[in-house]
Structure 1
Amino acid sequence: MKTAVLGSGSWGTALAMVLLENGNEVVLWSHNPDRAAEMAKTGLNPRLPGVSLPARLVHSGSLDCTRHCGVVVLATPSYAVRQTAHQLAGCLTPGTVVVSVSKGIERESGLTLTDVIAEELGEGFPIVALCGPSHAEEVARGIPTALVSASRNQAAAELIQDLFMNRHMRIYTSPDIVGVEIGAALKNVIALCAGCSDGMGFGDNTKAALMTRGLTEIARLGVSMGGREETFAGLTGVGDLIVTCTSVHSRNRRFGILLGRGVPVEQALKQVGAVVEGYYATANAWFLARKAGVEMPITHAAYQVLYESRDPREVITELMTRAKKHEIEESWV
């Protein structure tokens, strides 16, 4: 099938390689034509060191490359999804399946990214979210990985399952696109908190508490937005949380480590050297929590550190000394 991947970062490039391995005709688009030309010339992506790009991979700096594609994958940073989808609207053939692999929530509207895409493209384009515990560095090297293809359109979800699935990548389908996207976006918030804990020298106990209670917060908000509770026990819930909170590949965790060591927010963002989605997701999640009246104390703590210049040690003390709670919220009701 003729496919296009929009976004030549590490994740977009890794997914383009999977599609190519599976026998598809693939073009990888970059918003910077010079970057596209350089990658075509060298066969390398600086964000995937040590990985050689297949010679059959076509590179482009023009969205015209999406014309007559059966599937278009949006792999841009979350903040660029609306703009890219808007530019894309005039290029696509009706019926093209559009796949969102970016993770985030739009601040201004509170919409998930697939809803942003749908708003820009209009009717006639089945939309799928492809998410799960995955690092581009590992996918590009053929390390076994499992993802979820979620859509309100079952046929579209199964098409993407077939397109990406191979001996290195297993794809499950789900109708719960809301739950899948919320889990994928908000795990980045908890990952930077876990990194901050590491940076402050805390141990496994602290990280386990942050991950477990963080997942509770994510599920609480996700269910309030229409997601299914069981989704958060799956790949895009606990699975995504594990990989992002513990891996050396996680930019969100590395960012949190720097904060925990006392590096100022802006300087830490620069040191990571790539988009830290958790930074944006924290503000968006806290906005949604207040809007929905959902309690999210860890997310609020992260917001205070990132946007109100609070000391992480002070904030974690406040978290630990909050009023007593039941672990299971419906206990003895």
Structure 2
Amino acid sequence: MSAPGRLRVAVLGAGSWGTALAALACANADTMLWARDAALADSIGEQHRNSKYLPEVTLPDGLSCTHDFDRAVAHARAPGHAGGLIILSVPVAGLNEVCVRLAATRQAQASPQHHAGTAAMPLAVVWTCKGFHQETGQLPHQIVQAALPGQGDKPGAAPQTLGLGVLSGPSFAREVAQGLPVALTIASRQAWVAEITTAALHGGSARIYTSDDVVGVEVGGALKNVMAIACGIADGIGLGTNARAALITRGLAEMQRLGTALGGRADTFAGLTGLGDLVLTATGALSRNRQVGLALGQGQTLEHILASGMTAEGVRCARAALALGRSHGVDLPITEAVCEVLFNGVAPRHAVSRLLAREARAETPTP
């Protein structure tokens, strides 16, 4: 039984990151995790362990798990509680599907045969995916806004509306699930969304910071994956730590250029969701994007890497990022080099040589 008035959280998606966030939220809120796989949901509920994605971590006893999507949404929207938070922990490719399903469930649960007053319940919807949509180049917030009608997407919108935000930052799921320190940023144009998210996740080993720069946070989270592939390639070739430092620094400049062109703020890229996430993903042993780059630098083909089961968001969004840069007149040389290696059969060493052959220029262009 949940305590009256206590914050309710539903995490939709029982991968490693969704499971880690659900475990984190248990300390502050009544939390329910939704798994698409019924067998996995039953296993998590009975054994308090996600044997598929985080087998080494024991989950809190208070964490419940369900295969019933409607039940998970209703859990977050239950009347008589301090607020509701739904965390969408699905990849960019699956974000539209989950949002469309969420919209239909909300509409059904707001009908007279369901709990009276549920529709007026303050409900924040926060997503965690990092990347651009492969086909459209859309950022996650654009996908969510198109799929979820009635969201309060204006500053100061009343809590009775549906509020939106993005949760991002330098974080490996396994470490978070193990209770190791982490700092994340919740970005929303509505202060109450950030307040609910902070109330659910802040405390203990987790620090939650707030921002209103949704675009900047999302672009940082998307492009750092591409930069991590580049750093992995350099490490795989054996170019040394000097080269890695240069790629991280110039990669950050590339992220900032595209982010500001799309409407983000330059200072956002000096924070957790820019520099912080880039350093972690470009250097951390648990980074799948870096691992893909390492394999490419060591001579493996992308087809072989993907066939082995290794996936990385940077592979999915690199082309979209490059197309966005070109359409906005933004130079993205590292992203272009990564795309050449990933999709055009260019040898990693040749791609690096092209980067080194670029003309000399000022590090910080004159305004």
Q: Which residue identity does 1:76 align to in structure 2?
A: V
How far is the alpha carbon of 1:309 from its aligned partner? 1.5
2-structure distance, mates of 1:204, 1:231: 26
Q: How does 1:287-326 map to 2 (within 5 A)?
A: 287-326=323-362
Tell me the equivalent position of 1:114.
Answer: 141
Q: How does 1:1-333 map to 2 (within 5 A)?
A: 1-22=7-28, 24-45=29-50, 46-64=52-70, 65-69=72-76, 70-92=84-106, 94=119, 95-124=122-151, 125-271=162-308, 273-330=309-366
Contact 1:127 1:156 in 2 (8 A): yes
How far is the alpha carbon of 1:199 from its aligned partner? 0.9
2-structure distance, mates of 1:39, 1:263: 36
2-structure distance, mates of 1:42, 1:267: 35
The change in CA–CA distance for 1:11 and 1:274 in structure 2 (over 3 A counts) is farther
1-structure distance, mates of 2:187, 2:38: 31
Q: Which residue identity does 2:292 align to in structure 1?
A: F
Larger Rg: 2
- Under a length normalisation based on structure 2, what TM-score does the superposition of the two structures give? 0.87
Structure 1: give runs of 5+ residues left out of the alignment: none
Q: Which residue identity does 1:323 align to in structure 2?
A: E
Deviations 1:200-219 (A, max 9, x none): 11210110111110111110
Q: Which residue identity does 1:131 align to in structure 2?
A: S
The change in CA–CA distance for 1:215 and 1:264 in structure 2 (over 3 A counts) is same
How far is the alpha carbon of 1:38 from its aligned partner? 2.8
Identity of aligned pairs, percent?
Answer: 40
How far is the alpha carbon of 1:158 from its aligned partner? 2.0
The change in CA–CA distance for 1:290 and 1:258 in structure 2 (over 3 A counts) is same
Q: Which residue identity does 2:335 align to in structure 1?
A: T
Q: Secondary structure at the match of 1:67?
A: helix
2-structure distance, mates of 1:231, 1:186: 14
Q: Which residue identity does 1:329 align to in structure 2?
A: P
Contact 2:32 2:65 in 1 (8 A): yes
How far is the alpha carbon of 1:116 from its aligned partner? 0.8
Aligned Cα RMSD in Å?
1.4
Contact 1:133 1:147 in 2 (8 A): yes
Contact 1:149 1:158 in 2 (8 A): no
Range moving further from structure 2, 291-300 or 62-71: 62-71
Contact 1:192 1:278 in 2 (8 A): yes
Q: Secondary structure at the match of 1:48?
A: coil
Q: Secondary structure at the match of 1:192?
A: helix
Q: Which residue identity does 2:290 align to in structure 1?
A: R
Deviations 1:239-279 (A, max 9, x none): 000111111111111111111111110211233x3531111
Contact 2:186 2:197 in 1 (8 A): yes
The change in CA–CA distance for 1:274 and 1:126 in structure 2 (over 3 A counts) is farther
How far is the alpha carbon of 1:119 from its aligned partner? 1.0
Contact 2:217 2:274 in 1 (8 A): yes
Q: Which residue identity does 2:248 align to in structure 1?
A: M
1-structure distance, mates of 2:55, 2:291: 18
Range moving further from structure 2, 191-200 or 105-114: 105-114
1-structure distance, mates of 2:283, 2:100: 36
Contact 1:28 1:60 in 2 (8 A): yes
2-structure distance, mates of 1:278, 1:108: 14
Tell me the equivalent position of 2:115.
Answer: none
